[in-house]
């Protein structure tokens, strides 16, 4: 071997020893990463979402720059999960709309084909082709929240104050408990304290429950229960009579749909799969949905119709597998453009 070759090998060996020792810690072979881990921009409105493992979806075609769609991590609230959120920056002229009328069935795809909105999601409750939830458009109440809840087992009639989410006249997005009496819709700081099995409370009005004001909304969708109000966990399913007797299954695992707003004025549409349409994915309770939305930064949030109605379309394409095996015909929907 030539002298120069010997020198090169010795030099390389010394360099290897040096580099190994400089990357070791406490005389182990564990390398030390000398650069900081990449960090999400803390000023980004999506930062709290990204760090939790939600991934940006780019396979649904072009979307306006102010609308993003994310898929959940594989686990949420300790359960296998398939969930999607659509986020719209309402500071940048995103357009929130409520679709449908007081009567008439349409599938989410029907709504999409009519509106060509970037995001279409199912809305409030319905029965026999009629809406049971608030639908307010251009400041006009097209349909009120269901005014009565009749419990056949006890033959008792209740008058629940139920939730609505919408764009208010002052430009803010809010969740309110509301009731329409003699053509006037009132808003209340707390729901009427009804409870299934207890004696019914009086019909809500301008004086009951306390603190009533005339509800002033430009665009709104109703359903319930309220999940988050003024940044606080609420989940008022008992007071709104969305208990186990209602069929909503508040403490059962189900596909769910919800809507919320963050402090940064990011409107969130949420939908999750359930009922083992994907093996092992059972869905969530209302409590779990509220916690998920809180973790995403929602300061106001409302549960919408779920179960077989749960559906979100992005540019007309489905996200979750509907638990009916196909899109259910619904009466109302919400959209983002």
Cα(1)–Cα(261) distance, integer angstroms: 74
| First-residue to last-residue Cα distance in the chain | 74
pLDDT at 152: 79
Residue that wins the pLDDT comparison between 17 and 41: 41
Residues 274, 134: one domain?
yes
pLDDT at 47: 84
The answer on pLDDT for 49 being more than 60 is: yes
Residues 66, 30: one domain?
no
**Average pLDDT, stretch 90-118?**
97
Least confident of 5-19, 131-145, 191-205: 5-19
Q: Which residue segment(s) compose the domain that 181 sits in?
A: 36-336
Give the number of other CB atoms < 10 A from CB of residue 196: 17
Residues 41, 31: one domain?
no
Q: Confirm if 287 and 251 have CB atoms less than 8 A apart.
A: yes
Show the DSSP H helices in the chain as ranges. 3-22, 47-50, 108-115, 286-295
Return the residue matching tokens 């809180």.
Answer: 294
Residues 304, 230: one domain?
yes
Residues 183, 319: one domain?
yes
Residues 206, 219: one domain?
yes
Span 166-176, pLDDT tens digits: 999 999 999 99
Residues 117, 12: one domain?
no
The answer on pLDDT for 40 being more than 90 is: no
How large a percentage of the chain has pLDDT more than 70? 87
Beta bridge partners, 228, equal 233, 301
How sure is the predictor about 334, in pLDDT bands with cuts at 50, 70 and 90? very high
Residues 83, 129: one domain?
yes
Residues 17, 64: one domain?
no
The answer on pLDDT for 244 being more than 90 is: no
The answer on pLDDT for 31 being more than 70 is: no
Span 249-271, pLDDT tens digits: 999 999 999 999 999 999 999 99
Residues 300, 281: one domain?
yes
Residues 16, 125: one domain?
no
Beta bridge partners, 284, equal 254
Model-level pTM? 0.87
Structure tokens of 44?
Answer: 């980004």
**Average pLDDT, stretch 319-323?**
98
Show the DSSP H helices in 218-304 as ranges. 286-295
Return the residue matching tokens 């009639």.
Answer: 157
How large a percentage of the chain has pLDDT more than 90? 82
pLDDT at 93: 86
Return the residue matching tokens 């106001």.
Answer: 300
Beta bridge partners, 149, equal 158
Q: How far is CA 45 from CA 63, 110, 136, in A?
A: 17, 32, 28
How sure is the predictor about 43, in pLDDT bands with cuts at 50, 70 and 90? low
Cα(309)–Cα(124) distance, integer angstroms: 9
Residues 115, 59: one domain?
yes
Cα(14)–Cα(23) distance, integer angstroms: 14
């Amino acid at each position: 071997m030539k002298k120069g070759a010997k020198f090169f090998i010795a030099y390389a060996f010394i360099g290897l020893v040096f580099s190994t020792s400089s990357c070791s810690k406490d005389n182990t072979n564990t390398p030390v990463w000398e650069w900081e881990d990449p960090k999400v921009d803390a000023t980004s409105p999506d930062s709290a979402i990204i760090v939790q493992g939600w991934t940006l979806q780019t396979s649904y075609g072009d979307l306006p720059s102010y609308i993003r769609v994310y898929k959940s991590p594989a686990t949420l609230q300790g359960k296998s999960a398939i969930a999607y959120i659509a986020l719209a920056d309402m500071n940048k002229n995103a357009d929130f709309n409520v679709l449908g009328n007081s009567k008439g069935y349409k599938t989410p795809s029907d709504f999409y084909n009519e509106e060509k909105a970037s995001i279409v999601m199912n809305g409030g409750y319905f029965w026999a082709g009629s809406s049971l939830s608030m639908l307010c458009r251009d400041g006009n109440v097209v349909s009120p929240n269901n005014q009565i809840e009749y419990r056949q087992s006890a033959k008792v009639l209740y008058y629940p104050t139920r939730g609505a989410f919408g764009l208010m006249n002052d430009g803010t997005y809010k969740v309110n408990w509301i009731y329409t009496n003699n053509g006037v819709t009132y808003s209340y700081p707390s729901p009427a304290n009804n409870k299934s099995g207890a004696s019914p409370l009086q019909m809500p009005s301008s004086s009951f429950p306390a603190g009533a004001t005339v509800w002033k909304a430009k665009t709104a969708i109703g359903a319930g229960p309220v999940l988050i109000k003024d940044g606080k966990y609420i989940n008022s399913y008992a007071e709104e009579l969305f208990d186990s007797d209602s069929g909503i299954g508040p403490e059962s695992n189900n596909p769910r749909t919800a809507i919320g707003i963050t402090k940064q004025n990011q409107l969130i549409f949420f939908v999750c799969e359930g009922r083992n349409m994907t093996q092992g994915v059972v869905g969530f309770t209302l409590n779990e949905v509220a916690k998920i939305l809180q973790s995403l930064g929602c300061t106001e949030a409302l549960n919408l119709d779920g179960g077989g109605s749960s559906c979100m379309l992005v540019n007309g394409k489905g996200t979750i597998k509907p638990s009916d095996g196909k899109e259910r015909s619904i009466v109302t929907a919400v959209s983002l453009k």
